[in-house]
């Protein structure tokens, strides 16, 4: 019985790791489509998001089965409930990558990003993808120094997000209103993707230490 | 033992209802601050969001205790796990109301909304508040006709959200880029608030019927 239970716990952990890899790939591909206005890649990202949604449902069902059949207690129970929260964050990361792909498809053959924000969005995407890779490592190792690295990366994303609003407010900003609206949403999507990475880091930290880290809590969407 | 368990389940249900009332009030107050550029009310909304966050944590802890101590099975177990999902949706509704209040405070003494979108945002806020009230009723009664009403209200919010992007793209749109960016975010916050209301409706529907309703699933953030 105990062995079956440990195997089930491991499966839940493996599914989270798999989800984190898929959302990293989703953002890599979404940004590739965004950068080059490639609707074929955008379409693939949109289609692949269903797989992430499916994995979340599968993980949830498995968690409920474990809760029902094994009656876990204490730390195992917290791990399972925490997994439900982490799967929800990962699923949202997939959605946000999909939103980037959808904007790309909507504006084709135009680029979504105005020239002066190309580098900013490139860097936001790079940081988001790095965060997703760090989330995978954190789930695999539970090494909490990685959680701190995720926080630092998120801080950089937040600064870039703020810089987009400063750019929009500058006198030299001469983009059309729809381009401004798209840039606002794009920045918001990148920023929220990073936030959800922090949510996962925060949850892992809690599961390992049993305490909420105030630094991790403060890093979330408090703007 | 069974009586204690039923009392615990009822407490979880009551906390969800309380959260839904608080997020309705949060949006009512956030919109009042937004409409009149009233930073005092905005500040109250921002401060009150902590209470909603606290309630979510409290509900989660209670759910974990019930899972640990009572070892519920079948439908009760699904209800408890579903409550964790619903509390997360309600907590995000509180965050989104807070974002409206924060934009209001940021732009004071200016209004966030340009004149031509005042009526649109007024209607989005009215629909959002109505959705939150319907969520309370749905949690209290589990009457699934209310879930369908929430879907219909969300469809109206989505249409208004799309109309904001059409307005921004019209030749007559003459607002500054920061006003355009703010209007984009405001519309997105109203739209996401409604989406989370649908998420709760979808979860209640699932708990009552045991099946995902395709209409409810399709209503979510698929834009």
pLDDT for the residue numbered A219:
57
For all residues of chain B together, what is the average pLDDT? 92
* Token pair belonging to B177: 């880029």
pLDDT for the residue numbered B60:
87
Q: What is the mean pLDDT of residues B61-81?
A: 85
Asked whether residue A220 carries a pLDDT value surpassing 60, the answer given is no
Q: Which of B105, B122, B89, B111 shows the shortest CA–CA distance to B46?
A: B105
Q: What is the pLDDT of residues A105-138, one digit of tens each?
A: 999 999 999 999 999 999 999 999 999 999 999 9
pLDDT for the residue numbered A222:
47
The span from the CA of B174 to the CA of B168, in Å, is: 9
In a domain, B163, yes or no: yes
Residue whose token pair is 């809590």: A217
Alpha carbon of A8: minimum distance to chain B alpha carbons (Å):
17
Q: Which of A165, A184, A211, A218 to mutate to test the interface with B (most CBs of B within 10 A)?
A: A184
For all residues of chain A together, what is the average pLDDT? 92
Asked whether residue A185 carries a pLDDT value surpassing 80, the answer given is yes
Alpha carbon of A99: minimum distance to chain B alpha carbons (Å):
8
Instruction: Test A185 with B180 for CB contact under 8 angstroms.
Output: no
Is B74 part of the contact surface with chain A (CB cutoff 8 Å)?
yes
The number of domains in chain B is 1
Chain A CB contacts of B188 under 8 Å are 185, 188
pLDDT for the residue numbered A223:
41
Least-confidence region, from A65-74, A141-150, B79-88: A65-74
Q: Which of A222, A60, A87 shows the shortest CA–CA distance to B53?
A: A222
pLDDT for the residue numbered A213:
62
pLDDT for the residue numbered A1:
62
pLDDT for the residue numbered A4:
83
pLDDT for the residue numbered A214:
59
- The shortest CB-CB distance from A74 to any of B68, B102, B223 is to B68
- The shortest CB-CB distance from A178 to any of B102, B168, B178 is to B168
In a domain, A223, yes or no: no
pLDDT for the residue numbered B54:
93
Q: What is the pLDDT of residues B173-216, one digit of tens each?
A: 999 999 999 999 999 999 999 999 999 999 999 889 877 665 65
pLDDT for the residue numbered B5:
84
Is B102 part of the contact surface with chain A (CB cutoff 8 Å)?
yes
pLDDT for the residue numbered A72:
76
* Token pair belonging to A151: 């926080």
**Residue B39, domain CATH:** 1.20.58.220
Alpha carbon of B162: minimum distance to chain A alpha carbons (Å):
12
pLDDT for the residue numbered A73:
76
Cα three-residue angle A220-A18-A69, rounded to 5 degrees: 95
Q: What is the mean pLDDT of residues A24-36?
A: 98
- pLDDT category of residue B222 using cuts at 50, 70 and 90: very low
Q: What is the pLDDT of residues A158-174, one digit of tens each?
A: 999 999 999 999 999 99
Q: Which of A98, A181, A199 to mutate to test the interface with B (most CBs of B within 10 A)?
A: A181
Q: What is the pLDDT of residues B20-68, one digit of tens each?
A: 999 999 999 999 999 999 999 999 999 999 999 999 989 988 998 888 8
Instruction: Test A68 with B73 for CB contact under 8 angstroms.
Output: yes
Chain center to CA of A141: 18
* Token pair belonging to B30: 């956030």
Instruction: Test A81 with B95 for CB contact under 8 angstroms.
Output: no
Q: Find the closest chain B residue to A179 by CA distance.
A: B169
pLDDT for the residue numbered A212:
62
In a domain, A74, yes or no: yes
Residue numbers of the domain that contains A175: 2-107+115-218
The span from the CA of A95 to the CA of A192, in Å, is: 10
Instruction: Test B168 with A188 for CB contact under 8 angstroms.
Output: no
Least-confidence region, from A76-80, A180-184, A213-217, B70-74: A213-217
Is B33 part of the contact surface with chain A (CB cutoff 8 Å)?
no
Q: What is the pLDDT of residues B115-172, one digit of tens each?
A: 999 999 999 999 999 999 999 999 999 999 999 999 999 999 999 999 999 999 999 9
Q: What is the mean pLDDT of residues A64-82?
A: 84
In a domain, B223, yes or no: no
Is B218 part of the contact surface with chain A (CB cutoff 8 Å)?
no
- The shortest CB-CB distance from A184 to any of B78, B81, B181 is to B181
In a domain, A41, yes or no: yes
Chain B CB contacts of A78 under 8 Å are 64
């Amino acid at each position: 019985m105990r062995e079956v239970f440990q195997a089930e716990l491991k499966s839940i952990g493996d599914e989270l790791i798999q989800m984190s890899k898929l959302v990293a790939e989703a953002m890599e591909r979404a940004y590739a489509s965004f950068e080059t206005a490639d609707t074929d890649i955008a379409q693939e990202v949109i289609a692949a998001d269903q797989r992430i949604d499916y994995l979340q449902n599968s993980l949830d069902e498995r968690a409920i089965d474990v809760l029902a059949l094994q009656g876990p207690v204490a730390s195992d129970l917290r791990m399972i409930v925490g997994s439900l929260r982490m799967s929800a964050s990962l699923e949202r990361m997939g959605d946000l990558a999909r939103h980037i792909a959808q904007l790309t498809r909507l504006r084709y053959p135009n680029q979504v990003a105005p020239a002066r924000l190309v580098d900013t969005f490139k860097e936001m995407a790079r940081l988001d993808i790095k965060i997703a890779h760090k989330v995978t490592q954190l789930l695999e190792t539970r090494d909490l120094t990685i959680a701190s690295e995720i926080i630092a990366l998120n801080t950089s994303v937040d600064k870039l997000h703020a810089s987009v609003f400063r750019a929009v407010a500058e006198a030299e900003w001469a983009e059309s209103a729809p381009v401004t609206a798209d840039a606002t949403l794009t920045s918001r999507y990148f920023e929220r993707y990073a936030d959800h990475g922090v949510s996962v880091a925060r949850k892992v930290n809690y599961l390992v230490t049993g305490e909420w880290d105030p630094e991790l809590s403060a890093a979330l969407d408090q703007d």
